[in-house]
Structure 1
Amino acid sequence: MGLLIFPDINFLDNDLYSTSEGPVTPADLITFVLIISFSVLLFRVLTIYLRRSLKDRISKDVGEPILKLIYYGSLVIVFIAALPLIGLNPSGLLLAGGITGIILGFASQNIVGNLVSGFFLMVERPIKIGDQVEINGTAGYVTDIRIISTLIRTYDGLLVRLPNQQVFTTNITNIVGHPVRRFEYTIGIRYSDDANAAIWLIKDLIDKEPFALQNPSPSVFVSDLGDSAVKIVVRIWAPVSEWFGLKTRLLWDIKCTLEENGIEVPFPQRVLHIKNNSGKKPQEFEGLKEGHFEGNEGVLNFEGRGVN
């Protein structure tokens, strides 16, 4: 009759190494790994649940930093609490970590600067996730604000990573930071056209646009008398969500409406007046042959220079 051989599980109680906190066994190591793994899984599920629950209550730019703080903060607490299982004293580790942090801080000032700048970005909130911004020549949508860097998706689909220190210390243009935005046209008409009629037609078009705000009110006026056109300035305020669409649509509507009413945008023109001096007698220019001039005339026309 065969004998059943069971594996020896007493090795889990064998001492692997000893520390000031006592001996550490394989069972302690397995318990430590299981606790950390279970905590990561638990906090990740909790973060997903909180993200879905808070989706309709708070904006994404406020909720994401809070969720990240809860997730990583909880993991750090669990990790420190489980350190005695592997024979490490949390107080000693914190002391060593503090000294190491000071050394690394001097060695990596840029990283520390990015960390501090990321904190101030989250507190001051000059930009939010989803905003259209222009930072240091990079324009696009803010997709994420992380601890060290900020991610921007440009208008042509490129993903740009900007260090937080660069973002915080440079000029930030938040395109959608204000609920309304103004745009401006400069339209030229012929001198023979009626400028008052053109202004009335443009104002009528603006009044028919539902997204052209009346407060602040639009303004249409003659701004300059150019070389070949009377220049009319058009200034309109619109909600930031409709700003681009209204700006591109209204300009073409103004052009078509003016042309339908006989008011045209002129081409650049220059009028030249040519003076004909062919009636002068050749003897009047005899002084040219001798290399001198009579009187104070210092400028000759083209026909004069050509006489022999």
Structure 2
Amino acid sequence: MTSISNVIENFTGFFTTETNEILTAKIWSITQFIVILFVLSLFFRVVNSIVKKITVKKCSLQIQHVINKIIRYAGFTVMVLTAFHRLGIDISAILGAAGIAGVAIGFAAQTSISNIISGLFVITERAFKINDTIEVNGTIGTVQAINLLSVILKTFDSQYVRIPNETIIKANLINYSQFPYRRVKTELSVAYGTDLRRTEQILLAVAKNNAFTLDDPAPSILWTSFSSSSIDFTLMTWTKIEDFRNLRNSLFIEIDEKLKQENIIVPFQQLDIHIKDD
């Protein structure tokens, strides 16, 4: 009986020892795993903080958000790969499978990848920023967001417009908010026989007296062409960006009233129909 008891005790002790060693090893691995994740998390937080301090004075708030997302995604990827490695999972096999999947997804998402790459160029070029008014392929609106895939505009009639970054890069882009002042061009015509010098003096006075017109640069008139039934010219006035529409609208009304008051004829196309008797 004693020998049987000793055998059972030795057998149980063996497995208990093995179990304790395995348990200790697992606890140590888990502890290492947690410490590594904590250190990596702390590292990427420090990197993110440093990048924020560098970009806060050089980049818009939207660009800072995009950079922050890139750092977060990169940190998450590194932490996941580290976790797989510590858990004994073959990373090379996963990366190989991911590479094959990436090729397949890449063919299916060429447009998205192109937009992301274009988005990086849009962000680094800084041709416009949030709240700027821009025009792309005839679409005019205020920039609401700059994302990796697209730029979001709000038009003057409150329409939501999403423009892919690839289009932004390829198209001719006009930024109406790049400079503090903007020119208002008013195209006009007068009839032949009109005193051009007098007309010029009258319209320049109208422009100068408008509350939204800047004194410098001063208003000017450019005579452009002798048309079939009129002499054409352009009145050019400068104003602040925020007063552009106010000047344009008020100037139209004031010019119309002044031309009528001074009996200056603005010609319009006429069609004469002659009925021929048989």
| Fold shared by both chains (TM-score > 0.5) | yes
Please say if 1:263 is aligned against 2:232. Answer: no
Q: Which moved more, 1:102-111 or 1:243-252?
A: 102-111
Distance 1:89 1:244, change over 3 A: farther
CA distance in structure 1 between the aligned counterparts of 2:241 and 2:137, rounded to whole angstroms:
22
Residue equivalent to 1:120? 121
1:165-180 to structure 2, matched below 5 A, reads 165-180=166-181
Residue equivalent to 2:67? 66
CA distance in structure 1 between the aligned counterparts of 2:168 and 2:113, rounded to whole angstroms:
14
Deviation at 1:138, TM superposition (A): 3.2
Please say if 1:241 is aligned against 2:242. Answer: yes
Task: Please tell me whether the aligned partners of residues 154 and 160 of structure 1 are also in contact (alpha carbons under 8 angstroms).
Answer: yes
Structure with higher RCO (Cα < 8 A, 6+ apart): 2
- 1:90-124 CA-partner distances (Å, limit 9, x unpaired): 56544543444334323432222222222222222
Residue equivalent to 1:251? 252
Q: Secondary structure at the match of 1:161?
A: strand
Q: Secondary structure at the match of 2:127?
A: coil
Distance 1:125 1:184, change over 3 A: same
Residue equivalent to 1:105? 106
1:132-281 to structure 2, matched below 5 A, reads 132-189=133-190, 194-209=195-210, 211-213=212-214, 216-225=217-226, 229-260=230-261, 262-266=262-266, 268=268
Q: Secondary structure at the match of 1:185?
A: strand
Instruction: Give unpaired runs (5+ residues) of structure 1.
Output: 1-14, 16-22, 275-300
Task: Give me the TM-score of the superposition, normalised by structure 2.
Answer: 0.65
Deviation at 1:234, TM superposition (A): 0.9
Amino acid across the alignment from 1:268:
F
Instruction: Give unpaired runs (5+ residues) of structure 2.
Output: 1-18, 20-24
Distance 1:57 1:106, change over 3 A: closer
CA distance in structure 2 between the aligned counterparts of 1:75 and 1:57, rounded to whole angstroms:
26
Please say if 1:79 is aligned against 2:80. Answer: yes
Provide the aligned C-alpha RMSD in A. 4.3
Kindly indicate which of the two structures has a greater share of residues assigned to helix: 2
Task: Give me the TM-score of the superposition, normalised by structure 1.
Answer: 0.59
- 1:60-80 CA-partner distances (Å, limit 9, x unpaired): 344333333333333333333
Task: Please tell me whether the aligned partners of residues 208 and 219 of structure 2 are also in contact (alpha carbons under 8 angstroms).
Answer: no
Deviation at 1:239, TM superposition (A): 3.6
Residue equivalent to 1:88? 89
Task: Please tell me whether the aligned partners of residues 189 and 263 of structure 1 are also in contact (alpha carbons under 8 angstroms).
Answer: no
Residue equivalent to 2:13? none
Distance 1:108 1:182, change over 3 A: same
Please identify the structure whose Cα radius of gyration is greater. Answer: 1
Amino acid across the alignment from 2:213:
A
Amino acid across the alignment from 2:268:
P
Task: Please tell me whether the aligned partners of residues 24 and 85 of structure 1 are also in contact (alpha carbons under 8 angstroms).
Answer: no
CA distance in structure 1 between the aligned counterparts of 2:91 and 2:71, rounded to whole angstroms:
21
CA distance in structure 2 between the aligned counterparts of 1:156 and 1:97, rounded to whole angstroms:
45
Task: Please tell me whether the aligned partners of residues 151 and 162 of structure 1 are also in contact (alpha carbons under 8 angstroms).
Answer: yes
Amino acid across the alignment from 1:238:
T
Task: Please tell me whether the aligned partners of residues 141 and 153 of structure 2 are also in contact (alpha carbons under 8 angstroms).
Answer: yes
Deviation at 1:129, TM superposition (A): 2.7
Task: Please tell me whether the aligned partners of residues 199 and 220 of structure 1 are also in contact (alpha carbons under 8 angstroms).
Answer: yes
- 1:170-224 CA-partner distances (Å, limit 9, x unpaired): 3333333444433322333455654322211221233334653455553225444
Amino acid across the alignment from 1:154:
T
Distance 1:230 1:263, change over 3 A: farther
Q: Secondary structure at the match of 1:242?
A: helix
- 1:261-294 CA-partner distances (Å, limit 9, x unpaired): x23444537698x9xxxxxxxxxxxxxxxxxxxx
**Sequence identity percentage:** 25
Q: Which moved more, 1:58-67 or 1:146-155?
A: 58-67
